Amino acid sequence: MELTQQHFIALLPLLLASATLVTVMLAIAWRRSHGLSFVLSAIGLTAALLSIPMARESGVAGVTSLLLLDDFAYFHSALILVSTLACMTLAHAYLGEKPGADGFPGNREELYLLLTLSATGGMVLVSAQHLAALFVGLELLSVPVYGLVAYAFFSRRSLEAGIKYMVLSAAGSAFLLFGMALLYAESGTLAFTGIGASLATHLASPLVQTGVVMMLIGLAFKLSLVPFHLWTPDVYEGAPAPVSAFLATASKVAVFAVLLRLYLMSPATGDGWLTDALTVIAIASILGGNLLALNQSNLKRLLGYSSIAHFGYLLVALIASNGFAVEAVGVYLVTYVLTSLGAFGVVTLMSSPYNGRDADALYEYRGLFWRRPYLTAVLTVMMLSLAGIPLTAGFIGKFYIITTGVESQLWWLLGALIIGSAIGLYYYLRVMVTLYLVEPGIRRHDAPQDWGQRAGGIMLMAIVILALFLGVYPQPLLELAQQAGFAAL
């Protein structure tokens, strides 16, 4: 296959992100400067984001047999880039202005390098139409995250979380690789469509079934679906807050997008046993995630469990895979990313600048409303949005998921979803009311007075406005997701 100029234009976002990577690396080698490496990586990723409309015009879809750059890929790439940029902004606040008295004691510059690297991997992953691209993308996405989770390596919890994530993630990758090998042994090809076509004929062979199950296990590890979720709370708790935000948003978006593409393009769904297995996983994730979150007194752990439940909800749309499903996944991912960024953003700003441990215990938020009303308003809206209350973005997402469920008549899953939402309300409300309780005394952590004027604060305000705007007028988002949905079908 010959690469023309059009192909390069289609690849532009990916190329720009890679160029950013090299530039930032060289800049660090030349001279360490926190501000410079933040600005460089932010500009690079913004340029990649802005090049997406242009790349869409190029009119080529398949670039080599590895990548398929359609609207679906661009939609999710944009989502990954936006969330990475948001995490960078949070990280900038979190690490502190300059080394010395306050802020992060170690090197700060590499954090941006690792974030950019991981985001590039995510973009490869969402464009993959070939198992090789899937694996390369997935590893490029997760390997930098080992470093990110253990970035505060002098803190025991962060290091422990990093090692835990590395071991389990590597185990997940091994499963995935083994599964791919088995599928290849049966079908003789690694392209998604090729596998689908050849599997349509001999689906029932035990080799294929083992292969599909092993791949599913590998991806479920990354998405932390029950029963492969055990690493989630510890890693979310141990990782620095902006990294937890990245793990919860960009990393999961990329993996879920590729799972969806794989599920749609390889009709391994034919005879139903896979659907049954996914249904069980979905119900277990919804109920398990919500039940385990009930008694958490640590906000980061609570958000970790809540993300397990949210990906259970997303599986409902995946299983439905009817006319609305791809659209529903797109909309839900956007609302979920927005909300998680907001929630982790508040935790990050509360812990900024870094001073040894994050402000993640629930009691540190008690009565925050009477000290930081606007920051509290942000967290309140995020909690309501996670709970799916109308007039917030989260409701639109949940509305879409329920629509797909009703359309495909998945009553068991809908039942689990309703029960899960009811359980979920309890802990979201618990966080919310804590913010408003008037308690004298304890105020160990407090966001700096001028947080609203800094980049992180402005971004949080933008997120909350967007979350409310999409809750009230979701039409623009629905149109975007609809286009991405048409491309994938």
Partner 1 sequence: MILPWLILIPFIGGLLCWLVERFDQTLPRWIALLTMSLLFGLGLWLWATGDYSLAPAPDAGANWAVEFKYVWIERFGINLHLALDGLSLLMVLLTGLLGVLSVLCSWKEIQRHVGFFHLNLMWILGGVVGVFLSLDLFLFFLFWEMMLVPMYFLIALWGHSSSEGKRSRINAATKFFIYTQASGLVMLVAILGLVLVHYHDSGVLTFDYALLLDAQLDPAIEYLLMLGFFIAFAVKFPIVPLHAWLPHAHAQAPTAGSVDLAGILLKTAAYGMIRFALPLFPNASVDFAPIAMVLGLVGIFYGALLSFAQTDIKRLVAYSSISHMGFVLIGIYSGSELALQGAVVLMIAHGLSAAALFILCGQLYERLHTRDMREMGGLWSRLRWLPALSLFFAAASLGLPGTGNFVGEFVVLFGAFERMPWIVVIATFGVVLASIYSLAMVHRAHFGPAKAQGALPGMDARELGMILLLAVLLVLLGVYPQPVFDTTQASMNGVQQWITTALSPLASIR
Interface with partner 1 (CB under 8 A):
384, 387, 389-391, 395, 399, 402-403, 405-407, 414, 417-419, 421-422, 425-426, 429-430, 433, 436, 438, 473-475, 478-479, 482
Let me know: does 35 contact 440? Beta carbons within 8 Å: no
Collect all residues with Cβ–Cβ distance below 8 Å to 296 and sequence separation of at least 6: 233, 302, 305, 362, 427
Inter-CA distances, 254 with 128, 349, 414, Å: 10, 26, 25
Separation CA 236–CA 227 (nearest Å): 17
Nearer to partner 1, 273 or 399 (CB): 399
CB of 325 to partner 1, least distance (A): 14
CB of 388 to partner 1, least distance (A): 8
Inter-CA distances, 385 with 10, 273, 303, Å: 35, 34, 13
CB of 156 to partner 1, least distance (A): 34
CB of 344 to partner 1, least distance (A): 22
Nearer to partner 1, 389 or 455 (CB): 389
Angle, vertex CA 19, rays to CA 258 and CA 54, nearest 5? 65
CB of 459 to partner 1, least distance (A): 24
Separation CA 288–CA 282 (nearest Å): 10
Inter-CA distances, 463 with 39, 246, 339, 438, Å: 21, 15, 8, 27
Nearer to partner 1, 39 or 391 (CB): 391
User: Which stretches of 352-489 are DSSP H helices?
Assistant: 373-387, 393-408, 411-436, 455-472, 475-488
Nearer to partner 1, 153 or 426 (CB): 426
- Indicate the angle between helix axes 273-293 and 206-223, nearest 10 degrees: 20
Nearer to partner 1, 117 or 417 (CB): 417
CB of 230 to partner 1, least distance (A): 28
Nearer to partner 1, 118 or 380 (CB): 380
Nearer to partner 1, 24 or 402 (CB): 402
Comparing C-alpha atoms, which of 125, 8, 74 is closest to residue 486? 74
Residues listed for the chain: 489
CB of 207 to partner 1, least distance (A): 39
